Chains A and B, each alone.
Chain A
Amino acid sequence: MSRLTIAGLVTSALLAGVAFAAEEPNADAYREMTYGDRDANPALLVIDRGEELFKEKRGPKNVSLEQCDFGLGAGVLKGAYAQLPRYFKDTDRVQDAESRLLTCMTELQGFTVEELTKQTFANDKRNEDNTDLEALTVYIAAQSDGMKINAPAEHPKEQEAIKVGEGIFWRRQGPLDFACATCHADDKKRIRLQNLGNFSKAGVDVQKTMSAWPTYRVSHAAVRTMQHRMWDCMWQMRLPDAQYGSPMTVALIAYLNAQGKDGTYALPGMSR
């Protein structure tokens, strides 16, 4: 009889499972309950650290980053992140926030790229705190909270970066023959509760993602920037490590921000 009861339980569990799977999970409601309170975001602590690092006189030249030009003029941070990547005349290339940060830290403060990029991201397996680069980036990005994604696409090199980014997005490569598009070119695709987002078309999906990074990844206990996202996606595709701030990563970000134009930044983000 007990065997019968168990069999009955298993059947009802299976039926319940089927019924549950048929229902579209409401991930947005879950997210709102879990991460809805913006005061609860530990990234706020990292932003405070980033602000101190930004204003502190550092490096061989002992100067702060307050004269760094992120595209809106030296020292202007408000809204600058919302208009990146963009073409910079002094470096003659398109740069995102993080590659631009490297430029300022080398040109203004006298650091070398080698020492700055020795470790770009905190290692969550070792419970590390965010690196200086991550803290600075989230501080800079947070100054565009509430603004719209509005990266320029006027300069030929900006247009080129967007085109190149689109090409990389679709290009299957590496040992798994994987493209960004393998995961991010269909509607309603997800891994468990994680929405993947269809970034092949302009609109809500890509806006939501691009406007929410840098984000505090709760599972990493650290802030993650767009450069980390690019590096991590490349790793997931089993491609070689993406170089921090490289033209390839900047091109992809330029493409994604073009797709996500007019999304409203809610920074810092917080996610699983």
Chain B
Amino acid sequence: MPSIKLRAKALEGGLIEVKALMTHPMETGLRKDSAGELVPAHFISEVIVTANDKEVMKANWGGSISKNPYMAFTYKGAVGDKLKLTWKDTKGGTDSGELVVA
């Protein structure tokens, strides 16, 4: 199952708008389970987006980002750019999604 939904659209002025949805529980580390025990933190801590292998966006996230997070940004680019989004989380998990800007 693809856990990342990546979209990109060319705007005016040579800008590319990138939108991404990521499947992730984003546990804050502050929530308690039904037994009253703290649920360990488990959230995406880093998101990197590259265009043609060059980094165009990097985000450092914390536990305050919602479950199944959404992110959008623009960068200066062109149709045909090969985009790759990669996230890493606090448990060493990682996933990535790719897209060619059309």
B66 contacts across to A, CB distance below 8 A: 218, 221
Number of A-B pairs, beta carbon distance below 8 Å = 39
B25 contacts across to A, CB distance below 8 A: 127, 129
A41 and B7 alpha carbons, distance in the complex (Å)? 13
The contact string, 1 if C-beta is below 8 Å from chain B, for chain A 40-71, is: 11101100110010000000000000000000
Whether A44 contacts B67 by the Cβ 8 Å rule is no
How many chain A residues touch the partner (CB < 8 A)?
15
Given A40-B19, A126-B34, A49 contacting B1 (CB threshold 8 A):
yes
B68 contacts across to A, CB distance below 8 A: 42, 45, 221
List A residues at the B interface (Cβ < 8 Å): 37, 39-42, 44-45, 48-49, 52, 126-127, 129, 218, 221
B7 contacts across to A, CB distance below 8 A: 39
Residue of A nearest to B71 (CB): A40
B70 contacts across to A, CB distance below 8 A: 40, 42
What's the nearest-Cβ distance from chain A to residue B40, in Å? Answer: 12
How many chain B residues touch the partner (CB < 8 A)?
19
Whether A44 contacts B5 by the Cβ 8 Å rule is yes
A52 and B33 alpha carbons, distance in the complex (Å)? 30
A242 and B31 alpha carbons, distance in the complex (Å)? 29
Residue of B nearest to A220 (CB): B67
B72 at the interface (CB under 8 A from A): yes
9 smallest beta-carbon distances between A and B, as pairs: A42-B68, A221-B67, A40-B70, A39-B19, A45-B23, A45-B21, A44-B5, A42-B21, A52-B1
A129 and B68 alpha carbons, distance in the complex (Å)? 10
B2 contacts across to A, CB distance below 8 A: 48
